[in-house]
Amino acid sequence: AARLRDLAGPTIFSEMTALAQAAGAVNLGQGFPDGDGPAALLEAAHAAIDQGLNQYPPATGLPVLRKAIAARRAADHGVEYDPETEVVVTAGATEAIAAALIGLCEPGDEVVVFDPLYDSYGACLAMAEVRRVPVLLEYDGTRFSFDPDALRAAVGPRTRLILLNTPHNPSGKVFDARELALIAELCVEHDLIAVVDEVYEYLVYDGLRHLTPAALPGMRERTLSISSAGKTFSATGWKVGWACGPAPLVTAVRTVKQYLTFGTGTPFQAAVAHGLTACMDWVEELRAGLESRRDLLVAGLRTGGITTYPSSATYFLQMDARSFGTGDGDALCRELVRSAGVVAIPSVALYDDKKAGRHLVRLAFCKDEELLAGAAGRLAAQA
Ligand code: PMP
Ligand code: GLN
């Protein structure tokens, strides 16, 4: 279809992973961890297969998982959801995002997004024939933030929802209480829905805390919170995700997803239910380990005088291509495969405003420490 013409090639993540494999380079591009999730989680998946949980799950997800998800939201944020009507399990967060945008928007509606935005957002908005209205996250010398007036101006009569990603990929930004309060204020004032992608909710550093807009006054009834087991349990290939929200919003997601995949990964759903109930100490260790890997990568890059941008969350941080004598992050990424044996993601691929993202390069630090130190050293030698 004409509206999908720009989407036909492989995604930037597939493209860069293929480059890494072809060149035998270290892959600091696509965000997936080197290590497996907790042993108890893997054992729970094996046990579920052995117990015969190998047929279709209910379209809304296994009840035991929906209950575990609701229990986590209550414990983490004090927000209560009915597992029967207010939680739906999806094929990764990716399906939840797609189903939400298709299920909640009319063709011709507008959706406010923060720029840069995760690649599937733009693709799904195009599929749903929805216009995206970007609000730029700009670096102010200490952090990435947005101009409150730009956000206010982005909301218009056709705006249906605000699509937010916190903690944010690729910047590692954790939206703070003030920023979320303004987003909430606009949602309430203009009767908008907030769709919030929280897949990195547990991977937050520097003593910061992930806040969900759903916990703010007036927001529970208009917020759809999306997350997944991929990042929390180092199981990106399991593709178990979910959405929580008031019944009308969850019904919209379910309506679409029951005809997209119906359901997926029954034994993995059972294992993730176990993980959310019994493996959260392991998640805290993962978080602490990632924080020290981030520090290790930053320190390594600094030895070459490379400018990095602060990241307080996720798998990622960004560096500045200008430290390598070029403003073109995309060209630099292609060059570094050969010169440093390192694959990274040109952040510009995730930017709507190509000028703003041109010099930024995203590096994943969810990798083995020795590999990371070696890669940082080779990058530093190129700068
Ligand atoms: N949202 C963001 C911001 C991501 O970085 C990713 C990739 N991990 C996803 C959604 C997709 O999540 P999943 O693998 O659970 O579909
Ligand atoms: N979320 C991963 C990243 O940002 C990519 C997942 C994918 O390849 N679709 O690197």
Q: Compute, in angstroms, the gap from residue 133 CA to the centroid of ligand 2.
A: 22
Please state, in angstroms and rounded to a whole number, the distance separating the CA atoms of residues 205 and 208. 6
Q: Compute, in angstroms, the gap from residue 11 CA to the centroid of ligand 1.
A: 13
Q: Considering only CA atoms, which of 378, 365, 376, 373 is closest in space to residue 34?
A: 365
pLDDT of res. 181 = 98
Q: Compute, in angstroms, the gap from residue 94 CA to the centroid of ligand 1.
A: 6
Q: Which domains does the chain have, with CATH numbers?
A: 2-30+281-382 (3.90.1150.10), 39-278 (3.40.640.10)
Query: Which residues, listed in sequence order, are joined to residue 320 by a DSSP beta bridge?
Result: 360
Give nearest CA residue, ligand 2 atom 4.
Answer: 31
pLDDT of res. 141 = 96
| Ligand in nearest proximity to the CA of 15 | 2
Full 3-state SS string of the chain: CHHHHHHCCCCHHHHHHHHHHHHCCEECCCCCCCCCCCHHHHHHHHHHHHCCCCCCCCCCCCHHHHHHHHHHHHHHHCCCCCCCCCEEEEEHHHHHHHHHHHHHCCCCCEEEEEECCCHHHHHHHHHCCCEEEEEECEECCCCEECCHHHHHHHCCCCEEEEEEECCCCCCCCCCCHHHHHHHHHHHHHHCCEEEEECCCCCCECCCCCCCCHHHCCCCHHHEEEEEEHHHHCCCCCCCEEEEECCHHHHHHHHHHHHHHCCCCCHHHHHHHHHHHHHCHHHHHHHHHHHHHHHHHHHHHHHCCCCCEECCCECCEEEEEHHHHCCCCHHHHHHHHHHHCCEECEEHHHHCCCHHHHCCEEEEECCCCHHHHHHHHHHHHHHC
Question: Which of 7, 12, 13, 34 has most ligand 2 atoms within 8 Å of CB, for mutation?
Answer: 13
Give nearest CA residue, ligand 2 atom 2.
Answer: 31
- Give the ligand 2 atom nearest the CA of 345: 10
Sequence-distant (6+) residues with CB within 8 A of 231 are 31, 199, 200, 202, 203, 314, 315
Instruction: Name the token pair of 339.
Output: 């010169």
Question: Which of 115, 228, 269 has most ligand 1 atoms within 8 Å of CB, for mutation?
Answer: 228
pLDDT of res. 337 = 96
Please state, in angstroms and rounded to a whole number, the distance separating the CA atoms of residues 335 and 5. 28
**Protein residues with CB under 6 Å of any ligand 2 atom:** 11, 13, 30-31, 169
ipTM of the complex: 0.98
Q: Compute, in angstroms, the gap from residue 318 CA to the centroid of ligand 1.
A: 18
| Ligand in nearest proximity to the CA of 117 | 1
The CA angle 262-267-269, to the nearest 5 degrees, is: 65
Instruction: Name the token pair of 62.
Output: 């296994």
pLDDT of res. 202 = 98
pLDDT in tens, the chain (383 residues): 999 999 999 999 999 999 999 999 999 999 999 999 999 999 999 999 999 999 999 999 999 999 999 999 999 999 999 999 999 999 999 999 999 999 999 999 999 999 999 999 999 999 999 999 999 999 999 999 999 999 999 999 999 999 999 999 999 999 999 999 999 999 999 999 999 999 999 999 999 999 999 999 999 999 999 999 999 999 999 999 999 999 999 999 999 999 999 999 999 999 999 999 999 999 999 999 999 999 999 999 999 999 999 999 999 999 999 999 999 999 999 999 999 999 999 999 999 999 999 999 999 999 999 999 999 999 999 99
Q: Compute, in angstroms, the gap from residue 74 CA to the centroid of ligand 1.
A: 23
Q: Compute, in angstroms, the gap from residue 97 CA to the centroid of ligand 2.
A: 14
Q: Considering only CA atoms, which of 287, 382, 300, 350 is closest in space to residue 120?
A: 350
